[in-house]
Amino acid sequence: MADQIRKADRVWALYKGEEFITSGTVAEIAEETGKKFDSLMFLTRPAYKRRKDFGNRLQMYEIGDEEDE
């Protein structure tokens, strides 16, 4: 448990539909895009991922380390 990284400190990729916007920690993405930190954190929640997708909404995907899987 001690080696778990907080969700906000993990590396994420931000997409709008299929278009790549940027990647980095949530704070870095917020600074680069001008979006609020809390709004971006909401994009990482399971509740947001369950919402109906109309094809052009923002999505956050975690960029994981292949060795951890």
Task: Provide the 10 A C-beta neighbour count for residue 57.
Answer: 13
Residue 60 CA to chain centroid, in angstroms? 3
**pTM of the full structure:** 0.81
CA distances from 2 to 5, 11, 22, 32, 51 (A): 8, 18, 29, 30, 32
Q: Over the range 45-55, which residues count as b (16 or more CB within 10 Å of their CB) and which as e? A: eeeeeeeeeee
68 secondary structure, DSSP code: G
**Could you read off the pLDDT tens digit of each residue along the chain, which spans 69 residues?**
446 788 889 999 999 989 999 999 999 999 999 999 999 999 999 999 888 877 789 999 999 754 444
Residue type at position 38: D
